[in-house]
Structure 1
Amino acid sequence: MFTTRARQRMLAAAAFSGAAALALTGCAGGPEPASAYDPDAEVTLTFTWWGNDDRAQRYQQLIDAFEEEHPNITIEGNFTDFPSYWEKRQTEAAGGGLPDVWQFSDSYLREYAEPGLLLDLDTVADYIDFDAFEESLQQTGQLDGVQYSLPTGYSAWAVFLNDALIEQAGVEPYEGGTSAEEYADWMKSVTDATGGTVYGGTDMTQRIQTFENVLRAQGENLYTEDGELGFTEDDLRDFWNSGAAARDGVTVPQQRLEEIFPKSGFGANLTASEASWSNFLGGYLADSGAESVTLVAPPTEEPGSKDLYRQAGLQMAISANTEHPEASALWLDFVVNSEEAGEIFGTTLGFPASETKLAGTTLEGVDAQVAEYLDSVADRIGEAPPVPVVGYGSLEQTFWDLGKSIGLGALSVDDAVQQFMTEAGVILG
């Protein structure tokens, strides 16, 4: 089988000689069909992502490598934080001005694919190596059998530990995989030992992923295959109430987190632990300046359950209205498949989902840690949840915002539950 790079050179030569031309199929809001693709034409592509400065520096390295290989294609990149990112995409979608290529999330797959805002990648299949993906990972970017995006990698939910802060506190590291109550007790031991100069962690009930793990341990999901919520008001109320004791002086106060935003408590060295996706390790090290960070399994209420899953939510997509679908496909392929991407990003965009990207990744240091962590929780990995419902990204953000309001004391749990369920009812119809 040809390598991705060899296929691209071969296809470009064929297109240039006129031996092959890519006919684009029509799609809602998409460009007019092109008679031929000129691989030497000067092209400028817009590209955007969410993330921190560490991710931005890595993307710039990748852009430089791509532009050296494709000197006629210029990549104009920019980034922002996660909430602002999706607010801007919604504005662009309404005005028909989405970027050519953009970092995507499977949380928004239905929302952007169903109205025809994403390019069917099969229309530019000659420029993308789909064979480099395991089928189950490739399917994470599919809706109704159409390939709209491809994953950069996959992750699993984890608890991060700042080794130096824990040692300074004089407590034993959290071992991982305990009950939520035992994890809360450990966080309290850190906060008590430091007198609150460093907190044990952040309120885990703010994150919908923690709630998702609780539901999955019971054999449920956040939403059903039919696009309905998979939990009740009582389930949500019990979950948010379960964090009350930890919010009372154990976890970092929400007001402190508001003051350091967009850094997290862990990144700012205010907390000794934090839960997030395993691919955040590189970013956490960069933000905190810590010499070492350990990953351990998150709490579970049902030992032996398959509450975790391979999350391939961080993806790459092309806008349906791009004027340069072939060039966009070349850049998308470079991000998800190239050995250069593996070398530059390692596991910071998830453990490489593509075998060709993985071939460029040297699994040592941080990347070896992530690989070892994924191996360590393999017995807890279950099937991926259903394709997120339309509006899931908004619901995820609402969940987080309400959790923060609870932490600030600005909202009661009962009121937060009512607001969430009301918004969910509107979004899900």
Structure 2
Amino acid sequence: MITRRNFLTTAAVGTASVAALAACGTGASTTSGGATGSAENPITLNYTWWGNDDRATRTRKAIELFESKNKDIKIAGNFTDFGGYWPKRATEAAGGGLPDVMQFDLSYLRDYGQRNQLLDLGTVKINTDAFEKSLLPSGQIKGKTYGIPTSTNVFAVYYDPAKLASLGIAEPDGSWTYAEYNEFLSEVGAKGNGALFGGTDYTGVWWMFNVWLRQNNIAAFTEDGKLGFSKDDLKKWWNTTASLRGTPALISEERATQLAPKSPFGSNVTATEVTWDNFMAGYLADSGAKELKLVPVPSDAKDNLGLFFKPSMMMSASAKTKNKEAAARFIDFMVNDPEVGQIFKTSRGVPASKTQRDGTTFEGTDKLVVDYEKSIEKFIKDAPEPPIVGFGTLEASFKRVASDLNYKKVTIDGAVDAWFKEAEDLIKQNA
């Protein structure tokens, strides 16, 4: 089996696969309904994705490339930020009008897939030979494939070395406990004189909480779709940064909101950010920084960082699309074509398809992402099971309740009780 870890230690180029993919997709497109597209009368597919301006620019380049090789298909594309993306999809799904092809997130896949709103991609032609087999089940529900990963990513701590140098603070190596990371944030905040904060409150990010749970050998969810952690676990987690809230170590929720849609890190107001490693290109574009670096997340368990490869995003199609084969050809192109990999580099994460990875040259900041993943590969463990139905709502409520905590609208006990009530009610509704 071709594994992702083998990729991280090789630079071989799959020229045969490149040639094969470049040659495909040039004929007329026949839909399941019998209509045929042609260069004179092309089929139009609606495609939507989330991201910032950098991703939009790259995506439009990929669309232009696809259209140049597939004269019988036109792509009508649009995008929004992640926060606005899912309410739009929910409205469309309620009205029966999801776009033909969509960028999709693991958090929402089960919700839409189990409601038969997504096309089973196993019924159309999409080449998955170049994917690590252990990764494909992340897009599968009860034997049906509803999402194909475009790429994968890992959690990390971003930092700006120039900002740290300006404060006379040594660069971190990532071998830190939570207490040590908090001390680092406090030092940055103290020396930043109100212009630079240590970071954002990382305890408000669900996936970082998930990493912490894994560091403590606690499952986020049970096999029967219940919560795998207790109120005491969540209380301990939200207490991790309790002493930092309201200090220069962490940017205030109010200030962070004022900077939206840019992140505090991308706005050059914080020196660090805990998030997925595929945000490198976006952060560089937003901040204008010459260089950003990545180190592992903190952990109180020396040999267990709780890290895993997660599909950074997937490609899915509407179950009601009238152009199934054309949609499949577009998805296949976006996840496999080597030139698409060259366009996105690591901005979507490290390409999931070996064909796309081998056709991509990783240099500069993109190489930093690949090198980071290589540096932590020994700590990588199996990814968690696909999230439960309603997880997207749980993740959003986690962020909202954590925000209320930072606004001091609730106590930690109150925040824990509020989130658990929402979670348990949602689980009952979907039981």
- Fold-level match, TM-score > 0.5? yes
Q: Tell me, in whole angstroms, the C-alpha distance in 1 between the residues paired with 2:244 and 2:204.
A: 12
1:98 alignment partner in structure 2? 98
Q: Tell me, in whole angstroms, the C-alpha distance in 2 between the residues paired with 1:48 and 1:189.
A: 42
Q: 1:302 to 1:68 in 2, by over 3 A?
A: same
- Structure 1 residues 51-200: aligned runs within 5 Å: 51-125=51-125, 128-200=126-198
Q: Tell me, in whole angstroms, the C-alpha distance in 2 between the residues paired with 1:39 and 1:356.
A: 28
Question: Residue type matched to 1:151 in 2?
Answer: P
Question: Does residue 1:415 correspond to 2:430, yes or no?
Answer: no
Q: Tell me, in whole angstroms, the C-alpha distance in 2 between the residues paired with 1:135 and 1:332.
A: 18
Query: 1:270-315 CA deviation, whole Å, 9 max, x = no partner?
Result: 0000011010111111111100000000101211125100011411
Tell me, yes or no, if the aligned pair for 1:67 and 1:73 is still in contact at 8 Å.
Answer: yes
Q: 1:179 to 1:306 in 2, by over 3 A?
A: closer
Tell me, yes or no, if the aligned pair for 2:291 and 2:365 is still in contact at 8 Å.
Answer: no
In structure 1, runs of 5+ residues without a counterpart are 23-32
Q: How much does 1:248 deviate?
A: 2.9
Tell me, yes or no, if the aligned pair for 2:298 and 2:305 is still in contact at 8 Å.
Answer: no
1:281 alignment partner in structure 2? 280
SS in structure 2 at match of 1:154? strand
Question: Residue type matched to 2:322 in 1?
Answer: E
Q: Tell me, in whole angstroms, the C-alpha distance in 2 between the residues paired with 1:224 and 1:337.
A: 34
Question: Residue type matched to 2:90 in 1?
Answer: Q
Q: How much does 1:353 deviate?
A: 0.4
Q: How much does 1:35 deviate?
A: 4.7
Q: How much does 1:176 deviate?
A: 1.0
Q: Tell me, in whole angstroms, the C-alpha distance in 2 between the residues paired with 1:156 and 1:292.
A: 19
Question: Residue type matched to 2:98 in 1?
Answer: L
Q: 1:49 to 1:11 in 2, by over 3 A?
A: closer
Q: How much does 1:243 deviate?
A: 1.3
Q: CA RMSD, aligned part only?
A: 1.9
SS in structure 2 at match of 1:227? coil
Question: Residue type matched to 1:342 in 2?
Answer: G
Q: How many percent identity over aligned positions?
A: 41
Q: Tell me, in whole angstroms, the C-alpha distance in 1 between the residues paired with 2:105 and 2:376.
A: 23
- Structure 1 residues 3-402: aligned runs within 5 Å: 3=17, 6=20, 13=27, 33-35=32-34, 42-125=42-125, 128-249=126-247, 250-305=249-304, 307-402=306-401
Tell me, yes or no, if the aligned pair for 2:22 and 2:337 is still in contact at 8 Å.
Answer: no
Question: Residue type matched to 1:315 in 2?
Answer: M
Tell me, yes or no, if the aligned pair for 2:100 and 2:317 is still in contact at 8 Å.
Answer: yes
Q: Tell me, in whole angstroms, the C-alpha distance in 1 between the residues paired with 2:409 and 2:357.
A: 46
Q: What is the aligned length? A: 412
Q: Tell me, in whole angstroms, the C-alpha distance in 2 between the residues paired with 1:182 and 1:37.
A: 62
SS in structure 1 at match of 2:311? coil
Tell me, yes or no, if the aligned pair for 2:26 and 2:70 is still in contact at 8 Å.
Answer: no
Q: How much does 1:34 deviate?
A: 3.1
Query: 1:109-138 CA deviation, whole Å, 9 max, x = no partner?
Result: 21011111111112112xx21112110122
Question: Residue type matched to 1:293 in 2?
Answer: L
Query: 1:64-119 CA deviation, whole Å, 9 max, x = no partner?
Result: 11111112311111111112101111111111111111110111121011111111
Q: Tell me, in whole angstroms, the C-alpha distance in 1 between the residues paired with 2:261 and 2:25.
A: 43
Tell me, yes or no, if the aligned pair for 2:38 and 2:71 is still in contact at 8 Å.
Answer: no
Q: Tell me, in whole angstroms, the C-alpha distance in 2 between the residues paired with 1:67 and 1:37.
A: 16
SS in structure 2 at match of 1:77? strand
Q: Tell me, in whole angstroms, the C-alpha distance in 1 between the residues paired with 2:266 and 2:381.
A: 29
Tell me, yes or no, if the aligned pair for 2:159 and 2:272 is still in contact at 8 Å.
Answer: yes
1:26 alignment partner in structure 2? none
Q: How much does 1:7 deviate?
A: 6.3
Tell me, yes or no, if the aligned pair for 1:83 and 1:397 is still in contact at 8 Å.
Answer: no
Tell me, yes or no, if the aligned pair for 2:139 and 2:145 is still in contact at 8 Å.
Answer: yes
Tell me, yes or no, if the aligned pair for 2:304 and 2:379 is still in contact at 8 Å.
Answer: yes
SS in structure 2 at match of 1:98? coil
Question: Residue type matched to 2:101 in 1?
Answer: V
Q: Tell me, in whole angstroms, the C-alpha distance in 1 between the residues paired with 2:73 and 2:37.
A: 12
Q: How much does 1:225 deviate?
A: 2.1
Q: Tell me, in whole angstroms, the C-alpha distance in 2 between the residues paired with 1:187 and 1:11.
A: 51
Q: 1:12 to 1:287 in 2, by over 3 A?
A: closer
Query: 1:322-342 CA deviation, whole Å, 9 max, x = no partner?
Result: 111111111111111111211
Q: Tell me, in whole angstroms, the C-alpha distance in 2 between the residues paired with 1:12 and 1:180.
A: 54
Higher deviation after alignment, 242-251 or 90-99: 242-251
SS in structure 2 at match of 1:224? coil
Q: How much does 1:266 deviate?
A: 0.3
Greater than 6 Å deviation, 4+ residue runs: none
Q: Tell me, in whole angstroms, the C-alpha distance in 2 between the residues paired with 1:143 and 1:235.
A: 29
Tell me, yes or no, if the aligned pair for 2:312 and 2:349 is still in contact at 8 Å.
Answer: no
Question: Residue type matched to 1:109 in 2?
Answer: L
Q: How much does 1:5 deviate?
A: 6.8
Tell me, yes or no, if the aligned pair for 1:107 and 1:313 is still in contact at 8 Å.
Answer: no
Higher deviation after alignment, 85-94 or 405-414: 405-414
Q: Tell me, in whole angstroms, the C-alpha distance in 2 between the residues paired with 1:288 and 1:222.
A: 34
SS in structure 1 at match of 2:186? helix
Q: 1:155 to 1:229 in 2, by over 3 A?
A: same
Q: How much does 1:360 deviate?
A: 2.3
Tell me, yes or no, if the aligned pair for 2:26 and 2:69 is still in contact at 8 Å.
Answer: no
Query: 1:30-78 CA deviation, whole Å, 9 max, x = no partner?
Result: xxx5357556551111111111111011111111111111123111111
Q: 1:186 to 1:7 in 2, by over 3 A?
A: closer
Question: Residue type matched to 1:375 in 2?
Answer: K
Q: Tell me, in whole angstroms, the C-alpha distance in 1 between the residues paired with 2:18 and 2:321.
A: 23
> How does the TM-score come out when normalised to structure 1?
0.92
Higher deviation after alignment, 84-93 or 64-73: 64-73
Q: Tell me, in whole angstroms, the C-alpha distance in 1 between the residues paired with 2:389 and 2:362.
A: 36
> How does the TM-score come out when normalised to structure 2?
0.91
Tell me, yes or no, if the aligned pair for 1:4 and 1:129 is still in contact at 8 Å.
Answer: no
Q: How much does 1:10 deviate?
A: 6.1
Question: Residue type matched to 1:420 in 2?
Answer: W
